[in-house]
């Protein structure tokens, strides 16, 4: 749920409240001013929102995104892991309540790990009435919501509306602009994972896009006591149908006691793991120099970068459930203020002005209110 990540990305001293937006990295040289061509898609499960409110369905993907997919496919032709990546950081993600009915455990985006290019935030969240997130905007990143228990209801300014339930995933590319609301999909506590992935400078202003997969539509692979739901990327011969603007891997890995997984990670990609339940050991090195890093429930593990290895080696003596994440970094400056993630302060200010004036991607917000607006908690 994008609102979950929005909690931490709305700093108390943001420029919206009189301060300055946070800047990460060195501002890049002059940004290209040309608008990105309309994004196209390969899969019938995706929708693209045009500026005039029309929605595109299945069609061909554009060259840049397709090239990223081809790069991943090339890597997975040889799945052998010869040198597991080392663990360079490990920490526990504490549960933190924010409002009545909403709490989260933050790994990426926390004081322990401010960012992990291109990942901006990673949360395991708990969501229940009376909490809710009223109509709010986004620009400049991809937002992934994966439900562990219960459901999440959503409604956006293009009419995209529904509920994702246990095991379902929604991959939203905010691009140049989305306005939506999110609410618990039922009574009791709803649990899920929320991930924000930055978009490169050339993709910041692409058309918004939704890709929804029901649990039964997510490819699953099993081998030697390991069961993997392949949400993005590939594993054990299974490949997700999701097309991501930023090439990425998102795996939900269930391990029986004594199971082992050696999962390739493309060269140069950032990689980390989050233990949902149980425990896992991450092994690296060889011979007398081999080492392992043990992690339990709600712990985050960060792996070394390019040159450190070609994959990860995970073992679980007692069984566990782990998220494995990896993606190609952008190496660009990041300026983020609440729901807007751009490359420069000027672009963040422009995003805010565009939203307030209902232009440049936010036209459909004029006069619109979600079905959840009357009962949502103000943000």
- Say which CATH number the domain at 256 has: 2.60.120.10
Would 175 be classed as within a structural domain? yes
| Sole residue written with tokens 């496919």 | 73
Would 356 be classed as within a structural domain? yes
- Tokens for 42? 């390969």
Report pLDDT digits (tens) over 309-327.
899 999 999 999 999 999 9
CB atoms within 10 A of CB 226: 20
Whether pTM > 0.85 for this model: the answer is no
Write down the pLDDT at residue 1.
Answer: 55
The H or E element containing residue 74 is helix 63-75
CA angle 94/95/100 to nearest 5° reads: 155
- Tokens for 152? 């999440």
Would 105 be classed as within a structural domain? yes
Q: Looking at the DSSP assignment, which residues form a beta bridge with residue 209?
A: 48, 173
Would 329 be classed as within a structural domain? yes
Write down the pLDDT at residue 285.
Answer: 78
Write down the pLDDT at residue 42.
Answer: 25
Would 375 be classed as within a structural domain? no
In which domain, by residue range, is 109 found? Answer: 2-8+78-365
Report pLDDT digits (tens) over 182-195.
999 999 999 999 99
Write down the pLDDT at residue 331.
Answer: 97
- What's the rounded Cα separation, in Å, for the pair 211 and 139? 17
**Strand blocks (E) in 174-225:** 178-184, 190-198, 209-213, 220-223
CA-to-CA separations, 9 to 168, 226, 237, in angstroms, rounded? 25, 35, 36
* Residue 206, phi then psi, degrees to nearest 5: -70, 165
CA-to-CA separations, 343 to 247, 331, 348, in angstroms, rounded? 19, 11, 8
CB atoms within 10 A of CB 87: 23
Instruction: Determine contact, residues 106/100, Cβ cutoff 8 Å.
Output: no
- The DSSP code for 347 is H
Would 22 be classed as within a structural domain? no
Write down the pLDDT at residue 373.
Answer: 64
- Sequence-distant (≥ 6) Cβ neighbours of residue 79 within 8 angstroms: 237, 264
The distance of Cα 7 from the centroid of its chain, to the nearest Å, equals 15
Write down the pLDDT at residue 371.
Answer: 82
- The DSSP code for 331 is -
Write down the pLDDT at residue 136.
Answer: 94
55-64, long-range: CB < 8 A, 24+ apart: 55/158, 55/159, 55/160, 56/207, 61/243, 62/37, 64/202, 64/203
Write down the pLDDT at residue 48.
Answer: 54
Would 261 be classed as within a structural domain? yes
Instruction: Determine contact, residues 14/337, Cβ cutoff 8 Å.
Output: yes
Would 318 be classed as within a structural domain? yes
The total domain count for the chain is: 1
Residues in the chain where the model's pLDDT stays below 50: 2-5, 7-45, 51-63, 66-70, 72-78, 375-379
- What's the rounded Cα separation, in Å, for the pair 116 and 109? 8
């Amino acid at each position: 749920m994008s609102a979950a990540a929005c909690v931490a990305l709305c700093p108390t001293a943001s420029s919206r409240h009189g301060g300055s937006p946070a800047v990460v990295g060195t501002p890049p040289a002059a940004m290209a001013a040309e608008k990105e061509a309309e994004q196209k898609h390969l899969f019938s499960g995706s929708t693209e929102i045009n500026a005039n409110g029309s929605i595109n369905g299945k069609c061909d993907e554009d060259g840049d995104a397709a090239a990223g997919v081809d790069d991943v496919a090339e890597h997975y032709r040889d799945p052998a892991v010869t040198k597991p990546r080392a663990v360079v950081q490990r920490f526990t993600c504490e549960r933190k309540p924010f409002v009545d009915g909403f709490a989260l455990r933050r790994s990426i985006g926390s004081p322990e790990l401010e960012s992990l290019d291109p990942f901006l935030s990673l949360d395991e969240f708990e969501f229940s009435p009376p909490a809710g997130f009223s109509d709010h905007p986004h620009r400049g990143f991809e937002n992934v919501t994966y439900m562990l228990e219960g459901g999440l209801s959503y409604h956006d300014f293009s009419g995209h509306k529904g509920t994702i339930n246990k095991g379902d995933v929604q991959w939203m590319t905010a691009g140049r602009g989305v306005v939506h609301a999110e609410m618990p999909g039922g009574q009791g506590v709803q649990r899920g994972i929320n991930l924000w992935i930055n978009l490169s400078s050339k993709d910041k202003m692409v058309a918004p896009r939704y890709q929804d997969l029901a649990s039964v539509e997510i490819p699953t692979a099993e081998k030697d006591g390991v069961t993997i739901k392949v949400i993005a990327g590939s594993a054990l011969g299974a490949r997700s149908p999701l097309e991501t603007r930023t090439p990425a891997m998102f795996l939900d890995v269930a391990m029986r006691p004594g199971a082992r997984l050696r999962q390739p990670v493309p060269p140069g990609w950032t990689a980390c793991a989050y233990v949902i339940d149980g425990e896992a050991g991450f092994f690296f090195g060889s011979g007398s120099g081999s080492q392992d890093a043990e992690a339990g429930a709600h712990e985050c593990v960060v792996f070394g970068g390019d040159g450190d290895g070609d994959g990860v080696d995970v073992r679980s003596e007692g069984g566990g459930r782990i998220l494995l994440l990896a993606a190609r970094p952008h190496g660009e400056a990041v300026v983020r203020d609440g729901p807007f993630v751009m490359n420069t302060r000027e672009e963040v200010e422009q995003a805010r002005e565009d939203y307030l004036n209902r232009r440049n991607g936010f036209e459909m917000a004029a006069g619109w209110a979600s079905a959840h607006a009357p009962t949502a908690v103000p943000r």
